[in-house]
Amino acid sequence: MDLTQRFNNQVYQIAVSLIRQFDEKVSGIEGILKLTLGEPDFNTPHHIKEAGKDAIEQNYSHYTGMSGLADVREAAALFLKQKYHLTYDYTNEVLVTIGATEAISASLLAILNPGDKVLLPAPIYPGYEPVITLAAAQPIYMDTTADDFVLTPAVLEKHLLEHGDAVKAVILNYPSNPTGVTYSKEQVKALAAVLKKYPVFVISDEIYSELSYDEEHVSIAEFLREQTILINGLSKSHAMTGWRVGFIFAPEALTKEIIKVHQYLVTAASTISQKAAVRALIEGIDDGLIMKEEYRGRRDFLYEKMTNFGFKVAKPAGAFYLFAKIPDHLEQDSMKFCVDLAQKAKLAVIPGIAFGKEAEGYIRLSYAASMEQLEEAVSRLNQYLLQV
Ligand code: PLP
């Protein structure tokens, strides 16, 4: 019996991500230095690890309720209030998920019907499109390259008008992966004013909210609470990617619908991780700030070097990525450029094309790497540029 022809669901086709494809191409290169990772290079703070160990010792080894332990939800709501002045009722408006990843999947699968359209600013994190496709819905990209990767109210409204009632949701992600762009209070307010006029959900992925360098992070939920599904988590703020803790904050009726999907996707987040999350959110409320200062120094270093090398770079205002235009005299096919750089200089950075066709001609460097690694990377890039 040959089942190979039956692997692919007829409704959707999910391709292997270009980041994975690129990684496979270069990971065999001996001595390769990777500025490709989208995760903190720090260890989880000690006191959070202790809370995890305590949870194991105290036999927190059973399922929790689907929405997560009450003390994590309460701590998450308090964190959001203290940091971003938002008020969510932890009894029915907060859901603990398995990272922001599951929060994205559960939210999209809960609200999308086949044929619905979802607007996304591009370039964009590649984790949304496959889920939209799974729901047999359609992603529509709003090109932001002409506006330095900032989604303007005018571009947003143009797309909302053009696609009309078919638009079910708009995805926002700021501070942004891959561009490092974030939005000021005025900019957030202006986007919210447009969105308020349309019957669309706004899925706001604010996973990098604790990594905003120049101004305070402002959540769109502050101006658009009823339409917003706010996503956050501990992966980036507390260097806890492997613990897999994320959150959804949304009005009660929406949360109820999302829980139905979450229930069958995962049942609940890990109980041990949830206990550690309480420590992170309360005693560790400012753990992210120490890491942020480190990232800031690395950002400044890398920004200056890349600019001096002739790359056009918008100074990242958040997250830990630097998004650079490949200088005109070099190969503009970002995949070819990055493979060549990896082969000749043993330096891996992510080709822009992985973040959509709008990002062709760009590369993404992650500065979630030590200063020594960044210095070595810059030296390798310098050698490469002298050769080509
Ligand atoms: N959203 C964005 C924009 C990301 O960059 C990432 C990870 O790189 C995620 C979500 C996934 O986060 P988590 O580890 O919480 O699932």
pLDDT digits (tens, 9 = 90+) for 358-372: 999 999 999 999 999
Residue 274, domain member (yes or no): yes
Are residues 133 and 24 part of one domain? Answer: no
Mutate to test the pocket of ligand 1, among 177, 179, 204, 212 (most ligand atoms within 8 A of CB): 177
Percent of the chain with pLDDT over 70: 98
Q: Work out how many domains the chain is built from and give that number.
A: 2
Residue 267 lies in a domain: yes
72-112 pLDDT, tens digit each = 999 999 999 999 999 999 999 999 999 999 999 999 999 99
Check whether residue 31 and residue 119 sit in a common domain. no
State whether 111 and 169 are in the same domain: yes
Whether residues 273 and 124 fall in one domain = yes
Q: How far is the CA of 207 from the centre of ligand 1 (A)?
A: 7
Average pLDDT over residues 210-224: 97
Q: Is position 1 within any domain? A: no
Question: For residues 128 and 173, what is the distance between their CA atoms, to the nearest angstrom?
Answer: 10
pTM above 0.80, yes or no: yes
Query: What are the φ and ψ backbone dihedral angles of 131, each rounded to 5 degrees?
Result: -75, -35
Q: Does residue 380 belong to any structural domain of this protein?
A: yes
136 part of a folded domain: yes
With a 6 Å cutoff on the Cβ, whether 123 touches ligand 1 is: no
Between 352 and 37, residue with greater pLDDT: 352
Rounded to two decimals, the ipTM of the complex is: 0.99
How many residues are there in the chain? 388
Alpha-carbon torsion, ordered 322, 22, 131, 219, to 10 deg:
-10
Q: Choose one of 102, 174, 205, 207 to mutate for the ligand 1 pocket test, by most ligand atoms within 8 angstroms of C-beta.
A: 207
Residue 2 clears pLDDT 90, i.e. is over it:
no
* The pLDDT of residue 7 is above 90: no
Residues 266, 307, single domain; the answer is: no
**Cis-peptide into 114, omega within 30 deg:** no
> Which CATH number do you get for residue 347?
3.90.1150.10
CA of 102 to the centre of ligand 1 (A): 10
Q: How far is the first Cα of the chain from the last one, in angstroms, to the nearest whole number? A: 53
Same-domain check for residues 315 and 235:
no
* Mean pLDDT estimate for the chain: 95
179 is a domain residue: yes
DSSP 8-state symbol, 327: P
Residue 184 has pLDDT above 90, yes or no: yes
209 and 351 housed in the same domain: no
User: How far is residue 226's CA from residue 223's CA, in Å, rounded to a whole number?
Assistant: 9
> Of 233, 266, 285, which residue constitutes the final position of a domain?
285
Residue ending a domain, choose from 285, 311, 333? 285
Which atom of ligand 1 is nearest to 319's Cα?
5
Structural element, H or E, at residue 334? helix 334-345
Q: How far is the CA of 54 from the centre of ligand 1 (A)?
A: 27
- Model pLDDT, residue 350: 96
125 lines ligand 1 (CB under 6 A): yes
Task: Compute the distance from residue 58 Cα to the ligand 1 centre, in Å.
Answer: 30
Q: Which secondary-structure segment (H or E) carries 16?
A: none
Structural domain boundaries, residue 222: 46-285
DSSP state of 64: -
- pLDDT on residue 14: 72
Whether 358 and 178 have beta carbons less than 8 Å apart is answered as no
* Strand partners for 202: 170, 228
What integer is the mean pLDDT of 218-234?
98
Phi, psi dihedral angles at 227 (to 5 degrees)? -95, -10
Residues 6+ apart with CB under 8 A from 369: 35, 37, 41, 298, 377
- 358 and 291 together in one domain: yes
Cβ(107)–Cβ(229) below 8 Å: yes
Instruction: Using pLDDT thresholds of 50, 70 and 90, give the confidence band for residue 3.
Output: confident
Which pLDDT score is estimated for 17? 84
Give the number of other Cβ atoms within 10 Å of residue 267's Cβ.
Answer: 12
Q: Are residues 222 and 90 in the same domain?
A: yes
Q: Are residues 147 and 200 in the same domain?
A: yes
Last residue of a domain, one of 248, 269, 285: 285
State the pLDDT confidence band at 13, using cuts at 50, 70 and 90: low
The SS3 of residue 321 is strand
User: Is the same domain home to 258 and 314?
Assistant: no
Dihedral pair phi/psi, residue 122, rounded to 5°: -130, 145
Q: Band the pLDDT of 247: cuts 50, 70, 90.
A: very high
In a domain, 4, yes or no: no
Pairing, β 228-233 against β 246-249: antiparallel
**80 Cα: distance to centroid of ligand 1 (angstroms):** 18
pLDDT for the residue numbered 27: 87
pLDDT at 353: 95
CA distance 176 to 182: 6
284 lines ligand 1 (CB under 6 A): no
Confidence of residue 16 (pLDDT cuts 50, 70, 90): confident
Q: State both tokens at 202.
A: 């706004």
**At 143, which CATH number?**
3.40.640.10
127 within ligand 1 shell (Cβ under 6 A) = yes
Does residue 291 lie in a domain region? yes
User: Both 55 and 200 in a single domain?
Assistant: yes
